[in-house]
Chain A
C-alpha cells in the first residue's frame, strides 16, 4: 500500500516540476562551487606573492560562479511557472511535470560540468595574472569561452520552460 502511495507521489506533476527546479539549482550550484573553489586556490597562490593582485584574481575567480546563478534562475522560472512562489501551486499534470523536469536538465548538467571546466581555465588564467597582469583580459576570455556552453544550456532550458503549457 505504501509503495503504491510513493509511486503516486513520485509521478505527481508538482513533485516532478519541483524536482526539476531543485536539480537545476543543485547541480549547477555544485559545479560553480567546485569551479570557484579551484580558481580560488590558484588565486590564493598568486596573492601570496603579490597581495595587490587581489582585485584581478577575484574577478577571474568570480567567472565560474555564473553557472550557479543560471541554475538558480532556471529554478526560479520553474517555481514561478507552477505558482510555488505566489503560494498557490498550480495543478500540474504528470506529463507537464516530466516536461519541466526534462527542460531543467540542460542547465543542470551543462552547468555542473562547464563550471568545473571553467574553474580550471580560470585557475590557469591566474598564471597570466601572476606573470603578466596587463594581459588579464586574455585570461578572462579563455575562461569565458567555456561559459558559452552554459549560456546556451540556460537558453535552451528557459525557452523550453517558457514553451511548456500547464
Chain B
C-alpha cells in the first residue's frame, strides 16, 4: 500500500572526491549507507580494494568531540543551562562552524575546564585525606601533648591505643599490681572503646604486653600532624574553609568560562557532523584512484540524489539496482500527512516485514476512533488538540516526537467529537446535552457499540490476512483460513438476532463444517486432518475474547467521565466566598490536568493494545527495519546549507 520501493545505490567516484560525496549525501539526508566492510569477506576485499582506511582521522575528530563534550558537561555542573526547551535554535552554515572550531579562545576555555577539573580532583583527594585525619584525631582531642612528642624514649615506652571501655578499670588494677611506675591515662571514651595513653618502663615490656593481650588492646598510631591533636583539628577546619574558598573561585571561573558555551555548542555540533561523515567515509572500498560505496534509497528519491551528485561530481558513476534476496532492506513508508502520526504506533510494535503491507491506513482509522472514545470528553479533547498544535508549531519537532504530537492533536480532535456525542465537557462542569447519549444512563448500548466496533476491526483484520494470502498467490488459504472463519463468525453473530435464528444455524454450520474439513489440510493422515480440524474450532474462544476485549473502550470512557465528576464534586465543596472560589479553581485545574494525563496515557496504551493484539494478531508479522538515512543531526543548532540540495 504505502510501502515505498527501496533501491540499492552504488557509487563509484574519484578518491579525492570522497569527502565531497559524503557531504552531499549527508546534506541530502535521503540515503542509508551500507557498510560493505561487513558484507565482503576479507580475502575478497583484498582482491578488490586496498586495505581498510586507518581510523586515525576519525579518532582525532572524536577525541576533539569528547573534549568539547567534556567542557559542556563541566560547565553545566556550575552554570545550569537556562535555555528553555522551546527556544529557537541558532541557524549557522558550516563555514562559520568550522571557523569557530579553530577559535583559540574556545580551546583555551576547554583546556581551562580540564585544568579546573584536575584542580577539583586534587582538592577532593586532599580533602578526603584531611577528613580522615580529623576522624582519627577526634578521640584524642583532649590530649594536651603535641603529636610528634608521643613516642617512646630510650627507657620509657609511650603508646596510644584503644581498650574496650568496660575493661579499663581491670587493666588499670592489673597494671598497678604488676607493673609499678606505669600510667594509663584515659583520653576519651565512646560507646565501645576507651582511648588511652599508656606509659611504662621498657624493662617491664613482658608484663605489660601480657596484660594488654588479654584485654583486646589495639595500638593506634596517630597521624603525623603539627601540634596537639586539638590544634591539628582546628588547623584542618581552617584548611576546610580555604578549600571552600578555592571551590568558590573555581565555580566563579567556570561561570566566566560559560561565556564560551554557545560557541562550544556550535563546535560540538560541528564535530558531530564531521565525525559522522568520517565514519561513513570509512565504509567505502578504496582503489588507488577511486572508491566504491553502497546505500539504500527510496525509489522516489533516486532522481534527486543522482542529479545532486552528478551536478557537483560529474566524474562520479552512480547506479540503482533492485535489492537482492539476502539483503537486509530497510522499510520506507509514505503515508498521507493525516496517517503519518499513526506510523508511530506500528513502528513501536515493529515496522512492516518483507511479507507485510503497510497497515497504517487501517490502524489510523481505528486508533483515531478508539482513542477519542476512551477519553470521550470534549473539554479534554480541546486541551489535547491545542497542546498538540502548540507543540507542533513552536517546537517544530522532528521524527518520532513530531508523530507523537500529531497523534495527540488528531486524538484530541477525535476526543472532542466523542465528548460532544456523549455530552462530556470537563465531566459535568459545563452541562451540555449529549448529541447522542450519556453513557452513564445507558452503558449497555455503548458496550454493544464497543463490541460492534471490535467485530468490524476483527473482520477487517481477517480481510487483510486474506488480501495478503491472495497477493502471495495462496488463494485457497484465503478461502479456507479467513473466508470460512468469516462465514462461521457471521453465522454466530446472527444468533444475536432472534428473527435470523434459522439462517444463523445454517451459516454457522457451513462455516464450522468447512473449518473442520480444511484446517487440518497440512496434516498427512486422515486422523491428523480431522483432529486438527476439530481442534481449530477451539479458536472460537479466541475470537470471543478478542471481541470482549473491546469492552475496554466503554470502561475507559466511563472512567474518564466519572473521575471528572469526582473532581468537580470535590472542587464544588470548596466553593463559597472569594477564597473558596480560588481554591475551587485550583482544585479543578489540578484535578482535570491529572485526569487528562492519566487518561490520555490510558487511551494511548489501550488503543495500542487493541491494534497490537486483537488486530495485528490476525495478519501482521512485522520484523522490518526502519530506514535510518545518513543525515545532518545537530543538537544545539540548525545547519544552514550554503546551497540547495
Contact = CB atoms under 8 A, between A and B. Distances in A.
Interface of A: 59, 62-63, 65-66, 69-70, 72-73, 76-77, 85, 135, 137-138, 140-141, 144-145, 147-148, 151-152, 154-155, 158-159, 162
A159 B443 contact: yes
B566 A72 contact: yes
A144 B555 contact: no
Interface in B556-576: 556, 558-559, 562-563, 565-566, 569
B609 A69 contact: no
Contacts of A65: 598
Contact of B598 (A69, A77, A155, A159): A69
A70 B559 contact: yes
Nearest to B595: A69
Given A72-B566, A73-B559, A85-B569, A155 B602 contact: no
A159 B444 contact: yes
B552 A66 contact: no
A59 B348 contact: no
A155 B551 contact: yes
A154 to B, nearest CB: 5
Given A63-B605, A137-B608, A159-B443, A154 B559 contact: yes
Nearest to B612: A141
B8 interface: no
B606 A151 contact: yes
6 contacts: A66-B598, A73-B563, A141-B609, A144-B606, A148-B552, A152-B552
A63 B612 CA distance: 18
Given A141-B605, A147-B606, A154-B559, 6 more contacts: A66-B598, A85-B569, A137-B349, A138-B348, A155-B558, A158-B443
Interface string B45-76: 00000000000000000000000000000000
B554 interface: yes
B452 interface: no
A73 B562 CA distance: 6
Contacts of A70: 559
Interface majority SS (helix, strand, loop, mixed), chain B? helix
B365 interface: no
B601 interface: yes
Contact of A69 (B551, B552, B559, B612): B559
A145 B613 CA distance: 9
Contacts of A162: 440, 443
B549 interface: yes
B359 to A, nearest CB: 16
Interface string B605-640: 110110011000000000000000000000000000
A105 B552 CA distance: 19
A17 B608 CA distance: 36
Contacts of B548: 152
Contacts of A148: 549, 552, 609
A154 B613 CA distance: 21
A59 B600 CA distance: 12
Contacts of B605: 63, 140-141, 144, 147
B563 A69 contact: yes
Contacts of B552: 148, 151-152, 155
A59 B601 contact: yes
Contacts of B565: 76
A77 B609 contact: no
B292 to A, nearest CB: 32
A141 B612 CA distance: 9
B360 to A, nearest CB: 15
Nearest to A76: B566
A59 B555 CA distance: 21
Contacts of B551: 151-152, 155
A72 B558 CA distance: 13
Nearest to A138: B348
B577 to A, nearest CB: 20
Interface string B320-364: 000000000000000000000000000011000000000000000
Contacts of B563: 69, 72-73
A147 to B, nearest CB: 8
Contacts of A151: 551-552, 555-556, 606
A140 B604 CA distance: 10
B278 to A, nearest CB: 25
Contacts of A155: 447, 551-552, 554-555, 558
Nearest to B450: A155
B595 to A, nearest CB: 9
A62 B554 contact: no
Nearest to A135: B348
Given A66-B602, A85-B569, A159-B443, A144 B609 contact: yes
Contacts of A159: 443-444, 447
A41 to B, nearest CB: 21
Top 6 nearest A-B pairs (CB, nearest first) are A137-B348, A155-B555, A144-B605, A151-B552, A151-B555, A73-B562
Contacts of A69: 559, 563, 598
Contacts of B613: 145
A62 B598 contact: yes
Nearest to A162: B443
Nearest to A77: B562
B450 to A, nearest CB: 10
Contacts of B555: 151-152, 154-155, 158
A76 B443 contact: no
A58 to B, nearest CB: 11
A138 B345 CA distance: 11
